[in-house]
């Protein structure tokens, strides 16, 4: 039986289980203890010393994020003069070596350090002066920039990278020279970073941020010689509203389309179409492998961070990857071939922009074998955050926009395409189509609940006709390793595996809106965002990819059939083994 303790927090009685951390106990009485380094279950190291509180009888202040309550009658004080003075001093010390360019910082208004400085009355003038190390920007990676002059050494980015099982960054040097970098001071682009961006959404300041392509997109929109087309990933409709103060999990599909139209894009398409197209090609490829004794299990290739992980860490297993391009790249390839032909536009005059939850999509745009029309399938991949900034820059009042519809002919998506944004969604979408193709019968219910949910690894077996189809789903590269090691040592007997790079899938991608630590610690972001996608799926008339009429028309009039030679030339790709270090 769990031992319970009776304690007091700021004079209020509260009963907590033995070993409860002070930060969690304080929440029970409505007190949020401020933090800078703490991320629940990811970075619990008490490094920043900002969450200090007083415990009666203790010789000094203690860190609330890691201090366990183990004594009945413990008295805790979270807001004394001593506590406030300690926190203010900590902020002043951080600012003494911080690049204070708040007005132009990408995180201004959404910076945890800035917010705390305002709350504790700390301004740019610090009473501490001394040596201030200066660092060069690291722009070597395709997707992000590191500015160590804005780093506060909270180590949240390091913990996020470790949580992914990648661990290509750490704290180098000691004392005043301590800084976040890679082993041997390699640039990030020289390591096996998979571009997932989890470090970006974990950072409390502007020390890490995605490479911003919005100026290039604005320039393309304003170029009369260019036909600028935009596509939006499934999960964006469930997260973009957060950029404008809406509750987490608010669907804003119609407003998003309206905003993109007002930004000046010539056509607004839905990547759900590309997702449905992916299912048609992927299901066909899987059935072909099963029939001909091809390499099994087949593993999804929708997540570019996962694909890069496989290329770095499991190059000998690349044959398991589906050759299908991701929905982003399939949509781009279709825009610059089928759509270009249909509209009589030279592909060279089309600029394809994607709005993605994922910083690895920036890397994917530049991959080899992603140019079906002789030009890049996708020219620019913007994150959810970049789109939010574009809308604000253009003076568009997002919250007051009407709901508008995607454009034809690549704007129709099914519910199966929508759920691509959550872990297990690609698998469920594929099963909906595979089940009906194999059995020739309509599914009474299209839901496959066993592959839903935020568990890191999920396994299931489904009876499809005469065949027992064994599947697995993993999200987060640390969990991908579990599946890949089983495949490598021959103990896996799956037919089909879905792997997403980010924990929870695209709804938790590195390009999604940044939420502060308190929200991340005590709100289930992944579940709320995913619930919005499943609700959207449930509300649709068309919930299976093979029923998408626009996809059918594309095959009838252009691609011929799923898995055709022409489809392979345009919609499929190849992979390459990559070294763990790539020092030029």
Give me the pLDDT at residue 165, please.
97
199 and 239 housed in the same domain: no
436 and 482 housed in the same domain: yes
Last residue of a domain, one of 210, 235, 253: 210
Averaged pLDDT for residues 290-299: 96
191 and 329 housed in the same domain: no
Determine if residue 355 is left, alpha or beta; phi over 0 gives left, psi from -120 to 50 gives alpha, anything else beta: beta
pLDDT band at 584 (very low <50, low <70, confident <90, very high): low
CA dihedral sign of residues 418, 419, 422, 423:
negative
Beta bridge partners of 229: 267, 352
CB 320 within 8 A of CB 498: no
Tell the residue number behind the tokens 């059935």, with chain if given: 287
CB 275 within 8 A of CB 236: no
43 and 152 housed in the same domain: no
CA 502 to chain centroid: 6
Q: 59 in a domain, yes or no?
A: yes
Q: 17 in a domain, yes or no?
A: yes
Task: Burial-class residue 215 by CB neighbours within 10 Å (0-12, 13-18, 19+).
Answer: exposed
pLDDT band at 199 (very low <50, low <70, confident <90, very high): very high
d(CA 55, CA 22): 10
Cα–Cα separations (whole angstroms), residue 371 to 211, 228, 569: 22, 17, 10
E strand or H helix at 53, and its extent?
Answer: strand 52-55
CB 361 within 8 A of CB 354: yes
pLDDT band at 2 (very low <50, low <70, confident <90, very high): confident
d(CA 559, CA 342): 13
The tokens describing 418, both together, are: 């929508």
Helices (H) and strands (E) in the chain, counts: 20, 17
Give me the pLDDT at residue 397, please.
98
Helix (H, G, I), strand (E, B) or coil at 394: coil
Strands 170-172 and 62-63: unpaired
d(CA 310, CA 20): 39
Cβ within 8 Å of residue 544, ≥6 positions away: 414, 415, 416, 429, 432, 433, 436, 443, 446
Q: 178-188 pLDDT, tens per residue?
A: 999 999 999 99
CB 330 within 8 A of CB 559: no
297 preceded by cis ω (within 30°)?
Answer: yes
pLDDT over 70 percentage in the chain = 100
d(CA 434, CA 439): 8
What does the DSSP assignment read for 54-98? Answer: EETT-SS-EETTTPBP-STT-EEESS-HHHHHHHHHHHHHHHTTS
Residue 282 has pLDDT above 70, yes or no: yes
pLDDT over 90 percentage in the chain = 95
pLDDT band at 132 (very low <50, low <70, confident <90, very high): confident
Q: 357 in a domain, yes or no?
A: yes
Residue 529 has pLDDT above 70, yes or no: yes
Q: 436-465 pLDDT, tens per residue?
A: 998 999 998 999 999 999 999 999 999 988
CB 484 within 8 A of CB 316: no
Mean pLDDT, the chain, rounded, equals 96
Q: 365-422 pLDDT, tens per residue?
A: 999 999 999 999 999 999 999 999 999 999 999 999 999 999 999 999 999 999 999 9
Helix-helix angle 271-292:425-439, to 10 degrees: 60
Q: 461-519 pLDDT, tens per residue?
A: 999 888 899 999 999 999 999 999 999 999 999 999 999 999 999 999 999 999 999 99
Which residue range(s) make up the domain with 567? 214-571
Rg (Cα) of the chain, in Å, rounded? Answer: 25
Q: 53-92 pLDDT, tens per residue?
A: 999 998 899 999 999 999 999 999 999 999 999 999 999 9
Q: How many domains does the chain have?
A: 3
65 and 101 housed in the same domain: no
432 and 509 housed in the same domain: yes
d(CA 484, CA 499): 10
Q: 577 in a domain, yes or no?
A: no
Averaged pLDDT for residues 20-45: 96
What does the DSSP assignment read for 125-182? Answer: --S----------B--SSSEEE-GGG-----HHHHHHHHTT----EEES-GGG-EEE-
Give me the pLDDT at residue 583, please.
65
Checking 404-408 for CB contacts under 8 A at 24+ apart, the result is 404/254, 404/257, 404/258, 404/261, 405/254, 405/257, 406/257, 406/268, 406/269, 406/270, 407/267, 407/268, 407/269, 408/550
Give me the pLDDT at residue 465, please.
86
Last residue of a domain, one of 171, 187, 210: 210
Residue 1 has pLDDT above 90, yes or no: no
Averaged pLDDT for residues 315-331: 98
Q: 345-363 pLDDT, tens per residue?
A: 999 999 999 999 999 999 9
Q: 582 in a domain, yes or no?
A: no
Last residue of a domain, one of 175, 210, 245: 210
Beta bridge partners of 16: 5
206 and 221 housed in the same domain: no
What does the DSSP assignment read for 329-360? Answer: HHHHHHIIIIIHHHHT--GGGEEEEEEES-TH
Evaluate if pTM is beyond 0.85.
yes
153 and 219 housed in the same domain: no
67 and 198 housed in the same domain: no
Neighbours of 313 (CB within 10 A): 18
The lowest-confidence range among 111-125, 201-215, 469-483 is: 111-125
Q: 258-279 pLDDT, tens per residue?
A: 999 999 999 999 999 999 999 9
What does the DSSP assignment read for 414-453? Answer: -HHHHGGGSTTHHHHHHHHHHHHHHH-S--S----GGG-S
Give me the pLDDT at residue 421, please.
97
CATH of residue 116: 3.30.70.20
329 and 402 housed in the same domain: yes
Q: 576 in a domain, yes or no?
A: no
The tokens describing 380, both together, are: 């620019």
220 and 330 housed in the same domain: yes
Averaged pLDDT for residues 244-248: 98
CATH of residue 522: 3.40.50.1780
223 and 206 housed in the same domain: no
Give me the pLDDT at residue 103, please.
93
Q: 583 in a domain, yes or no?
A: no
Q: 579 in a domain, yes or no?
A: no
Q: Count of alpha carbons within 13 Å of 157, Cβ hemisphere only?
A: 31
């Amino acid at each position: 039986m769990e031992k319970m303790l009776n304690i007091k927090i700021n004079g209020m009685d509260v009963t907590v289980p033995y070993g409860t951390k002070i930060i969690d106990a304080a929440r029970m009485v409505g007190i949020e203890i401020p933090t800078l380094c703490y991320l629940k279950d990811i970075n619990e190291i008490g490094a920043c010393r900002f969450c200090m509180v007083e415990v009666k009888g203790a010789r000094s202040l203690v860190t609330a994020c890691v201090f366990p309550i183990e004594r009945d009658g413990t008295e805790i004080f979270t807001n004394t003069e001593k506590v406030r003075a300690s926190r203010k001093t900590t902020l002043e010390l951080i600012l003494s070596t911080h690049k204070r360019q708040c007005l132009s910082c990408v995180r201004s208004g959404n910076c945890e350090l800035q917010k705390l400085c305002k709350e504790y009355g700390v301004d740019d003038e610090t009473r501490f002066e001394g040596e201030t190390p200066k660092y060069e920007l690291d722009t070597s990676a395709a997707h992000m920039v590191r500015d160590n002059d804005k780093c506060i050494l909270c180590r949240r980015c390091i913990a996020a990278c470790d949580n992914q099982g990648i661990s290509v960054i750490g704290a180098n040097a000691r004392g005043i020279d301590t800084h976040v970098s890679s082993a041997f001071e390699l640039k990030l682009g020289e390591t096996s970073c998979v571009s997932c961006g989890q470090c970006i959404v974990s950072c409390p300041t502007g020390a890490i941020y995605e490479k911003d392509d919005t100026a290039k997109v604005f320039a393309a929109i304003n170029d009369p010689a260019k036909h600028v087309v935009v596509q939006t990933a499934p999960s964006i409709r469930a997260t973009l509203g957060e950029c404008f103060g809406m509750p987490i999990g608010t669907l804003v599909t119609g407003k998003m389309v309206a905003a993109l139209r007002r930004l000046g894009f010539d056509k607004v398409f839905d990547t759900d179409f590309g997702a449905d197209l992916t299912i048609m090609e992927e299901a066909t490829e899987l059935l072909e492998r099963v029939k001909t004794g091809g390499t099994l299990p087949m593993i999804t290739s929708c997540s570019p961070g996962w694909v890069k992980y496989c290329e770095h860490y499991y190059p000998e297993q690349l044959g398991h990857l589906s050759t299908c391009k991701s929905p982003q790249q399939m949509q781009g390839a279709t825009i610059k071939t089928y759509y270009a032909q249909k509209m009589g536009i030279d592909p060279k005059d089309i600029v394809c922009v994607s709005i993605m939850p994922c910083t690895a999509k920036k890397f994917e745009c530049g991959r080899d074998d992603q140019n079906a029309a002789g030009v890049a399938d996708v020219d620019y991949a913007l994150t959810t955050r970049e789109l939010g900034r574009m809308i604000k820059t253009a003076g568009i009042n997002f919250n007051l926009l009407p709901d508008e519809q995607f454009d034809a002919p690549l704007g129709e998506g099914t519910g199966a395409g929508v759920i691509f944004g959550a872990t297990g969604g690609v698998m469920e979408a594929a099963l909906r189509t595979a089940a009906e193709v194999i059995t020739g019968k309509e599914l009474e219910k299209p839901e496959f609940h066993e592959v839903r949910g935020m568990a890191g690894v999920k396994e299931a077996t489904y009876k499809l006709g005469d065949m027992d189809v064994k599947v697995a789903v993993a999200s987060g590269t640390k969990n991908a390793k579990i599946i890949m090691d089983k495949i490598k040592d021959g103990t896996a007997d799956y037919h089909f595996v879905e792997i997403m790079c980010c924990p929870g899938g695209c709804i938790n991608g590195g390009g999604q809106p940044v939420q502060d630590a308190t929200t991340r610690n005590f709100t289930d972001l992944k579940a709320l965002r995913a619930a919005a996608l499943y609700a959207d799926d449930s509300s649709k008339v068309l919930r299976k990819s093979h029923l998408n009429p626009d996809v059918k028309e594309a095959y009838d009039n252009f691609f011929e059939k799923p898995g055709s030679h022409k489809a392979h030339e345009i919609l499929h790709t190849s992979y390459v083994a990559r070294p763990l270090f790539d020092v030029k």
